Amino acid sequence: MSDPVARGRPPPEEFRRAMARWATGVSVVTAHHAGEDAGLTVNALLSIALAPPSLLVSLQESVDTLPAIEASGAFAVSLLSARQRSISERFARAVPSREKFLDLPVHRGATGAPLVDGALAAAECRLTAVVPAHDHRLLLGEVVRVELGPEDDPLVFFRSGYGSAEGPGSLRLPPPGR
Ligand SMILES: Cc1cc2nc3c(=O)[nH]c(=O)nc-3n(C[C@H](O)[C@H](O)[C@H](O)COP(=O)(O)O)c2cc1C
């Protein structure tokens, strides 16, 4: 058998297609700095530990929200419900922060970062580490406050499209081939 490492890397598009088969939830990660709110849609979210409660998000180094998180030393994660798909779409757009938050109902907890009203749950974090990873930054956060929202269905991202899940065994998926 040939050495798998020596065989080289898969083309990025092939890797993207493979990872598109990894179903995730969808969140909005936000920060507040110098009187401004910033935020983006994130599905690279990982719960790290229960004690201390901590989580990790992976952000492209070029996103506008990253400097706001680093400068404020804090961020918040709102876990979106299936009925909040338009919020996910809005926060994934390359538009000025002010536009993303225009007429969006939010509230604030301990860190000053905005939390999306009606989200399934939210966690506010103190930024404890920033680890460079290629063109991304892994942000480790110690959770300082959580809140639970309505018991709605989650928004799901799978095969590069949105779906929803009514509960175990009833995943509704986007049409194939996307
Ligand atoms: C479903 C979905 C998940 C995403 N997940 C991430 C992610 O985990 N990390 C990331 O850096 N960008 C992610 N993005 C892209 C950002 O939301 C997008 O680049 C955004 O415009 C960045 O906003 P900003 O530059 O104002 O911070 C995702 C987009 C979508 C639609």
DSSP code, position 51: T
CA 92–ligand 1 middle distance (angstroms) = 5
Q: Is the pLDDT of residue 79 over 70?
A: yes
For 54-77, what is each residue's pLDDT tens digit? 999 999 999 999 999 999 999 999
Q: How far apart are CA 173 and CA 164, in angstroms?
A: 7
Mean pLDDT score across all residues of the chain: 94
Residues having CB closer than 6 A to ligand 1 are 26, 40-44, 58-60, 63-65, 88, 91-94, 157
Q: What pLDDT, on the 0 to 100 scale, is given for residue 2?
A: 60
Q: What pLDDT, on the 0 to 100 scale, is given for residue 165?
A: 85
Q: Is the pLDDT of residue 5 over 80?
A: no
pTM for the structure as a whole? 0.93
CA 6–ligand 1 middle distance (angstroms) = 33
Q: What pLDDT, on the 0 to 100 scale, is given for residue 113?
A: 98
CA 101–ligand 1 middle distance (angstroms) = 15
So what's the architecture of 24-158 in CATH? Answer: Roll (2.30)
Looking at ligand 1, which residue's alpha carbon is closest to its atom 31? 92
Of 21 and 176, the one with more pLDDT: 21
67: three-class secondary structure by DSSP: helix
For 104-123, what is each residue's pLDDT tens digit? 999 999 999 999 999 999 99
Number of the ligand 1 atom closest to the C-alpha atom of 93:
21
> Structure tokens of 140?
């480790």
SS (H, E, C) 70-118: HHHCEEEEEECEHHHHHHHHHHCCCCCHHHHHCCCCEEECCCCCEEECC
For 31-40, what is each residue's pLDDT tens digit? 999 999 999 9
> What does the domain layout of the chain look like in residue ranges?
24-158
